[in-house]
Amino acid sequence: MSFKEIEFKVYDGKPEDFSGAVLIALSEESVKADKAAAFRDIISGLAERKDFTGKKGALTRVPLFNNKVKNIYLLGLGKSEEVNAAVVRDKLAQAFRTIGRQHNNSCLLMLDECVEVKGDVLIEAAELASYKFDKYKSQDEENNNKDEKNFALNEIFVLNKLCDKCSAKGKIFAESQIFTRELANEPGCVINPPVLAEIAAEQAKKFNLECEIWDENKLKAEGCGAILAVGSGSATPPRMIHLIYKPKNKARKKIAFVGKGITFDSGGLDIKPSNFMTTMKGDKTGACDVLGILTGAAKLELEDIEVHGFMAAAENMPSGSAFRPDDIIKARNGKTIEIDNTDAEGRLVLADALCLASELKPDAIIDMATLTGACMVALGRWRAGLFAKAKDDALAEAILSAGKRRGEDFWRLPAEDEHIEEELKSPFADMINSGPRYGGATFAAIFLSQFVDKNISWAHLDIAGVDFMDKETGVYAKGASGFAVRTCLDYLVNL
Ligand code: BES
Ligand code: MN
Ligand code: ZN
């Protein structure tokens, strides 16, 4: 896997004696006032510079300063009143990536006085920025460095010691998300449901998690007809994976995470057009998130919170054995579903998983899924949908705040609507699975709610749109983002 564990160390010498690159992050006001006294020793006349105004995200490389400092980089943080953890994490990540690729091994970080972030934010920025999915690229002399230089940054120096606890937390957050990215980036020819189950079992062993895997026979015996239907067209059968983190002390809270694990979504018999099918290896991101969260919970050694994870894994393929439009299937809770679109498969695998999670009577269930194109149309590529009923406002608020702290944006959308609920009706079964075009993301949320125990707090995260990045930006590399892993871990830590 291509990522670096980056060490943060304290530098107590003079900045002008530093032998690597120096990165100076400044707000627009600090540039104008040329007031950052600590930086004057190595660079002055900031206010007069035409090539650097402190604009948010701007990075300027100042050529060789003296024989010791290799490079000085100026990073703009924008207006000081708008500087927050998300901005600092995002812009530092981009800067670390550039500096690392320009063959700098070590970097001294000097932050403007308006920056108030702890070590977790800095570690997240540095480690997430170092990740790239490049294991299938030949690394010979010629191919290597062809388009992008290798990331060389190994150590970052700061002027004040970072808090150990925060740093350890940030490292676990980042590394859990990187694990999820690496898994979600693997193509469908490598990861199918049984392989995903094996990887989950391996991770469970490594981190002392309990793990139970249901194969197709057990799923049949247990009445999980929805996930079985989705997987029926594939040469590789579905799996329901249940992971448990048990704390040392008596559990004060029990939280269940549920993830959509479609290892490839062709659409099934309602096959997708080809330009909608590429990136559908990423349709397993919800389940990969859940595995990242469970291993993260174990690494954090949460004291008194029991965490459950359900990964609902199936491959949605067209074939002679595939489920069809018009089929009527039965989910774990006995409810029947008339299939009107085989491409609305995520809600089906989640239906069985949400029933199983409900049976454990947890304090809260949070599901995550690359569920609807509609959510992506509504919110774009950098913000995920958060669906919760009015009764679950507290859970929704907790997730929104955790997302803010981690720089993962969520936007609350409705999970109840009496008119859309009407559209769920089927003439022949308890409900249909897809429904009309408008309000598709809320329709999906209302569909899911049919399988959640009404007495349990529940939130649904629709991560279609944010699961797979078109291009490198901030903490994200091109490809899988692992979106929601850090938010959910932060939610657990602050519970
Ligand atoms: N996996 C897709 C949703 C998706 C689309 C995720 C784009 C990421 C990017 C999901 O299974 C799907 O196909 N949804 C359909 C539902 C429709 C048939 C009701 C959609 O959104 O078009
Ligand atoms: Mn689909
Ligand atoms: Zn899908």
**Residue 86 shares a structural domain with residue 187:** no
Indicate whether 188 belongs to any domain: yes
| Structure tokens, 374 | 């509609």
CATH of the domain at 129: 3.40.220.10
CB atoms within 10 A of CB 5: 12
Q: Are 79 and 55 in contact (CB under 8 A)?
A: no
Q: Is 444 in the pocket of ligand 1 (CB under 6 A)?
A: no
Predicted pLDDT of residue 64: 66
Q: Is 346 in the pocket of ligand 1 (CB under 6 A)?
A: yes
| Structure tokens, 148 | 């992008």
**Residue 217 shares a structural domain with residue 83:** no
Indicate whether 92 belongs to any domain: yes
Ligand nearest to the CA of 444: 1
Atom of ligand 1 nearest to the CA of 372: 21
Atom of ligand 1 nearest to the CA of 434: 19
Q: Are 231 and 261 in contact (CB under 8 A)?
A: no
**Residue 154 shares a structural domain with residue 184:** no
Q: What Å distances lie between residue 152 and 98, 106, 269, CA to CA? A: 10, 8, 47
Predicted pLDDT of residue 142: 56
Indicate whether 1 belongs to any domain: no
pLDDT tens across the length of the chain (495 residues): 688 899 999 999 988 889 999 999 999 999 988 766 566 667 778 888 888 999 999 999 987 656 678 889 999 999 999 999 999 999 999 999 999 999 899 999 999 989 999 999 999 999 999 999 999 998 665 555 545 667 889 999 999 999 999 999 999 999 999 999 999 999 999 999 999 999 999 999 999 999 999 999 999 999 999 999 999 999 999 999 999 999 999 999 999 999 999 999 999 999 999 999 999 999 999 999 999 999 999 999 999 999 999 999 999 999 999 999 999 999 999 999 999 999 999 999 999 999 999 999 999 999 999 999 999 999 999 999 999 999 999 999 999 999 999 999 999 999 999 999 999 999 999 999 999 999 999 999 999 999 999 999 999 999 999 999 999 999 999 999 999 999 999 999 999
**Residue 143 shares a structural domain with residue 251:** no
**Residue 386 shares a structural domain with residue 444:** yes
Q: Is 344 in the pocket of ligand 1 (CB under 6 A)?
A: yes
- Pick the last residue of a domain from 113, 134, 162: 162
Q: How far is the CA of 175 from the centre of ligand 3 (A)?
A: 26
| Structure tokens, 341 | 């679109």
CB atoms within 10 A of CB 403: 25
**Residue 197 shares a structural domain with residue 133:** no
CA distance 194 to 311: 12
Indicate whether 362 belongs to any domain: yes
CATH of the domain at 394: 3.40.630.10
**Residue 153 shares a structural domain with residue 220:** no
**Residue 205 shares a structural domain with residue 145:** no
**Residue 55 shares a structural domain with residue 177:** no
Predicted pLDDT of residue 67: 67
The pTM is what?
Answer: 0.97
Q: What Å distances lie between residue 128 and 8, 181, 380, 410, 463, CA to CA? A: 14, 10, 22, 20, 19
CB atoms within 10 A of CB 363: 16
Indicate whether 256 belongs to any domain: yes
Indicate whether 434 belongs to any domain: yes
Q: What Å distances lie between residue 1 and 133, 181, 281, 463, 480, CA to CA? A: 7, 10, 18, 24, 14
Q: Is 434 in the pocket of ligand 1 (CB under 6 A)?
A: yes
**Residue 371 shares a structural domain with residue 421:** yes
Q: How far is the CA of 488 from the centre of ligand 2 (A)?
A: 24
Instruction: List the residue whose alpha carbon is closest to atom 7 of ligand 1.
Output: 373
Distance linking the first and last C-alpha atoms of the chain: 32
Burial class of residue 166 in the structure, from the number of CB atoms within 10 Å of its CB (0-12 exposed, 13-18 middle, 19+ buried): middle
Atom of ligand 1 nearest to the CA of 443: 19
Indicate whether 2 belongs to any domain: no
Domain containing 453: what range?
Answer: 170-493
Q: Are 141 and 185 in contact (CB under 8 A)?
A: no
Please compute, for residue 76, the number of CA atoms within 13 A of its CA located in the half-sphere on the CB side.
19
Q: Is 403 in the pocket of ligand 1 (CB under 6 A)?
A: no
- Pick the last residue of a domain from 129, 162, 195: 162
* Choice among 79, 246, 254, 272 that is catalytic: 272
- Pick the last residue of a domain from 137, 162, 187: 162
CA dihedral angle for residue 176, residue 181, residue 186, residue 187, rounded to 10 degrees:
140
CA distance 462 to 378: 11
**Residue 429 shares a structural domain with residue 458:** yes
Indicate whether 344 belongs to any domain: yes
Q: 272 an active-site residue?
A: yes
Contacts 24+ apart (CB under 8 A), 188-192: 188/263, 188/264, 188/280, 188/281, 188/315, 191/263, 191/281, 191/284, 192/234, 192/236, 192/263, 192/264, 192/315
Determine the residue type at 257: F
CA distance 14 to 18: 7
* Choice among 132, 284, 347, 383 that is catalytic: 347
Q: Which distant-in-sequence residues (6+ apart) come within 8 Å of 393 by Cβ?
A: none
Q: How far is the CA of 344 from the centre of ligand 2 (A)?
A: 5
Q: How far is the CA of 439 from the centre of ligand 1 (A)?
A: 13
Atom of ligand 1 nearest to the CA of 375: 21
User: Among 100, 182, 107, 94, which residue's Cα sits nearest to residue 149?
Assistant: 100
Q: Which distant-in-sequence residues (6+ apart) come within 8 Å of 302 by Cβ?
A: 245, 247, 492, 493
- The total number of structural domains in the chain stands at 2
Q: What Å distances lie between residue 248 and 113, 266, 306, CA to CA? A: 41, 43, 10
| Structure tokens, 105 | 């091994």
**Residue 405 shares a structural domain with residue 462:** yes
Predicted pLDDT of residue 146: 46
Determine the residue type at 80: S
CA distance 101 to 145: 10
Instruction: List the residue whose alpha carbon is closest to atom 22 of ligand 1.
Output: 373
Predicted pLDDT of residue 70: 82
Q: Is 462 in the pocket of ligand 1 (CB under 6 A)?
A: no
